[in-house]
Amino acid sequence: MFIQIDKTIYEKLSEAEKGVIQFLNQNEEKIPYMSITNIAEKTFTSQSTVSRTIQKCGYQGISQLRFAISQQEQMKNHHESSYGVNNILSKSYRESTKTIDNISPVAMLQTIEFMKTAKRIFIFSRGFTALIAEEFQMYLQLLGYNAIIVKDVKWMENTERIVNTNDVVFILSVRNTTPELATSARAAKRKGAKVISCCCKSPCELENFSDIIIYGHSEQIMKASGMTVYSRIPLLIITRTIIEYLGQ
């Protein structure tokens, strides 16, 4: 109930006034758009009865009542907006903590050793994940590593001609929906290269061809233009950990 009135005052109201209060509480969302005349017509009372009832409820008039309703609506919308923001932040927190929990220190240290001794580091990725790969490549190059991005399907189809036993193939994938990544991993493994895969879907086909696989935890961000978009935060955490350790 929007309008709450003291019991002793309520008991002294006339039946017409009680009817007005009942109407106001049942039609709260409509009151900001109604005049005293409208309310009187809807409650089969007079304008003076409506005005008097509003004053007995603690408001100076219809204008103050409208303002109070609008303030309450703003607080409600603010609460809903705050809940939405907190829900999004909790998803990011969940992704971060679960990804960190998934990372094996042994696997991470072995990854570091493979990368330190590699002649070349090929970073395979597709779609939006290629943006993470480009940042990873930039940091590796700043540290003096020979890092090369492979994000074109045609290049992936020729993995066996590109990589050799002295290389590391580093695969970044959120959902492992690109079949060429698994094909590339298989080809690289066949050539004797070390294959490291980072994925946010378990189990995945990449497991079959990877020397090391590091799993992150990713959640859906949105659906737009027929696409379901998942967070890349886990891949950023994994690559950032590698870069920071290499940079020590």
The predicted structure's pLDDT at residue 185 = 97
Is residue 94 assigned to a domain? no
Same domain as 223, residue 144: yes
Stated as kind and residue range, the H or E segment containing 149 is strand 147-150
Same domain as 153, residue 61: no
pLDDT (tens place) for every residue of the chain, 248 residues total: 567 777 788 888 899 988 888 888 888 888 888 888 999 999 999 999 998 988 888 888 888 888 887 777 766 666 555 666 778 888 898 999 999 999 999 999 999 999 999 999 999 999 999 999 999 999 999 999 999 999 999 999 999 999 999 999 999 999 988 899 999 999 999 999 999 999 999 889 999 999 999 999 999 998 888 888 999 999 999 999 999 999 98
The predicted structure's pLDDT at residue 200 = 94
Is residue 75 assigned to a domain? no
Same domain as 230, residue 113: yes
Helices (H), the chain: 7-11, 15-26, 36-43, 47-56, 62-102, 105-117, 129-142, 153-157, 159-162, 179-190, 233-246
Is residue 132 assigned to a domain? yes
List 229's β-bridge partners, or say none. Answer: 222
Cβ neighbors of 216 (< 8 A, separation 6 or more) are 95, 98, 99, 102, 198, 199, 200, 233, 234, 235, 237, 238
Cβ neighbors of 92 (< 8 A, separation 6 or more) are 231, 233
Same domain as 143, residue 39: no
Same domain as 232, residue 113: yes
Domain's final residue, options 25, 51, 70: 70
Domain's final residue, options 54, 70, 86: 70
Number of domains the chain contains: 2
The predicted structure's pLDDT at residue 90 = 86
Same domain as 241, residue 132: yes
Same domain as 120, residue 177: yes
Strands 194-199 and 168-172: parallel
Is residue 85 assigned to a domain? no
The predicted structure's pLDDT at residue 150 = 97
Which range marks the domain in which residue 220 is found? 103-246
Nearest to 200 by CA among 222, 183, 176: 176
The predicted structure's pLDDT at residue 8 = 81
Domain of residue 200, CATH code? 3.40.50.10490
Is residue 207 assigned to a domain? yes
